[in-house]
Chain A
Amino acid sequence: DAKTTQPPSMDCAEGRAANLPCNHSTISGNEYVYWYRQIHSQGPQYIIHGLKNNETNEMASLIITEDRKSSTLILPHATLRDTAVYYCIVRAQYIIQGAQKLVFGQGTRLTINP
């Protein structure tokens, strides 16, 4: 079962920052937060992951609260091509039974409006 809670849908204006929240209140110490997105009719695409520090790459920024019970994915300047379903997943980093697979929830359907 997915261990995360996300809003089912969000809208954002093109050019603005899109902030996607995720709750993971039962996250354990060795679990990372991963974000993937899925554009219509394509496979999921890896975006970013982090443990407790904020992370940034060329696609997005990930802000994790100090207690690690929630996080926010930030797309700084959203474009129409960012319209997709965004999945927040918690996953153990180290090799323990059952930890290898990604468990997807329903995700957030983000629509970027012109």
Chain B
Amino acid sequence: DTGVSQNPRHKITKRGQNVTFRCDPISEHNRLYWYRQTLGQGPEFLTYFQNEAQLEKSRLLSDRFSAERPKGSFSTLEIQRTEQGDSAMYLCASSLERLGRGTEQGNTEAFFGQGTRLTVV
């Protein structure tokens, strides 16, 4: 399977514990996004990387959240001191930004992983 892979698929943790999720994007994709989705809502943007650089962070990304993409390939999202309000589906997506000139440059479609469902008890 050459799609976006997320691990684990499910995580149950006690309030106050730290959790880390991993995302492996499609191999040639230089952009990687993290989203959060709560029940009945559309996905909400958290942050994105261009290669290893984290270029944008949402206000939703509190100080307890940190994301990394150290080598421009896989990414991790860590939540420290989890709270019950952190319970959600965490989605990762990747895309290829074409650099250069002309009509080939710009954003392309993003491909999502299956998500990691976090339950904080």
Contacts and interface: CB of A to CB of B under 8 A. Distances in A.
Contacts of A101: 33, 45, 48, 56
Interface residues of B, number: 27
A48 to B, nearest CB: 9
Interface stretch (B14-22, B63-71, B77-85, B107-115): B107-115
**Contact size range, A:** 20 to 34
A92 interface: yes
Given A46-B109, A101-B48, A102-B110, A107 B42 contact: yes
A30 B89 CA distance: 31
A44 B112 contact: yes
Given A42-B114, A99-B107, A104 B48 contact: no
Nearest first, the 10 A-B pairs at minimum CB distance are A104-B42, A43-B112, A93-B106, A46-B109, A101-B45, A94-B106, A44-B112, A104-B43, A43-B115, A43-B114
